[in-house]
């Protein structure tokens, strides 16, 4: 199948989008980490971290914001972003720090500016909320994602460890001033 440009819109997610968010979350996690992490660990992680209830909970929180990217034709979900108060090991945490908790896209939609549109929505919301800094954690081995964030003005400010299955992995903690 040849790559055909597909029009995609980004909109604030609503309570009825939890299923779509969970599906894209699990699918993009699998796409990204198949062949990197143990398959059984990926499945267990997706059952926990990409369960519909995880997204329902975020959508119900007043301090969280979510956006859904979907095709203009048929409204198929292809990506999303989640903004929450920061819960990262920052070297100098501030009360108004916000975290880009997730920005996920199906691989087919990488490289076309959709990630930048989702990031821009989060940056605009963070500024609207009066935040002076936006932070995120990204898998240390995900060079492509780190390059994307560097181009958007983020810099590495620390690291953290996270566990999937029996193994621990490193994340780069990145931040940018708003």
**2 falls in which pLDDT band (50, 70, 90)?**
very low
DSSP-derived letter for residue 130 is T
On whether residue 22 sits in a domain, the answer given is yes
The confidence score (pLDDT) of residue 4 equals 54
Region for 142 from its dihedrals, namely left if φ exceeds 0, alpha if ψ lies in -120 to 50, beta otherwise: beta
Region for 95 from its dihedrals, namely left if φ exceeds 0, alpha if ψ lies in -120 to 50, beta otherwise: alpha
* Structural domain span for residue 123: 8-177
On whether residue 138 sits in a domain, the answer given is yes
- On the question of pLDDT at 19 being above 50, the answer is yes
CATH of the domain at 80: 3.40.630.30
Average pLDDT of the residues in 5-27: 96
Rg (Cα) of the chain, in Å, rounded? 16
On whether residue 56 sits in a domain, the answer given is yes
State the chain's mean pLDDT as an integer. Answer: 95
Q: How many domains does the chain have?
A: 1
Within 13 Å and on the Cβ side, how many CA atoms surround 22?
20
On whether residue 1 sits in a domain, the answer given is no
Q: Give strand pairing partners of 37.
A: 34
On whether residue 3 sits in a domain, the answer given is no
On whether residue 74 sits in a domain, the answer given is yes
On whether residue 36 sits in a domain, the answer given is yes
On whether residue 109 sits in a domain, the answer given is yes
pTM: 0.94
- On the question of pLDDT at 92 being above 80, the answer is yes
The confidence score (pLDDT) of residue 34 equals 94
**Cα end-to-end span (Å), the chain:** 41
């Amino acid at each position: 199948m040849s790559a055909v440009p597909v029009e995609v819109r980004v909109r604030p997610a609503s309570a009825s989008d939890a299923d779509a968010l969970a599906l894209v979350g699990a699918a993009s996690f699998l796409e990204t980490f198949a062949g990197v992490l143990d398959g059984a660990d990926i499945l267990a992680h997706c059952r926990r971290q990409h369960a519909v209830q995880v997204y329902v909970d975020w959508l119900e929180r007043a301090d969280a914001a979510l956006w859904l990217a979907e095709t203009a034709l048929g409204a198929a979900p292809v990506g999303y972003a989640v903004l929450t108060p920061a819960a990262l090991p920052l070297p100098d945490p501030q009360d108004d720090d916000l975290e880009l908790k997730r920005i996920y896209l199906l691989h087919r939609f990488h490289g076309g500016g959709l990630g930048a549109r989702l990031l821009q929505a989060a940056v605009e919301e963070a500024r609207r909320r009066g935040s002076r800094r936006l932070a995120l954690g990204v898998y240390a081995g995900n060079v492509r994602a780190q390059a994307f964030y560097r181009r958007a003005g983020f810099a590495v400010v620390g690291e953290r460890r996270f566990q999937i299955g029996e193994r621990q992995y490193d994340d780069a903690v990145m931040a940018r001033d708003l």
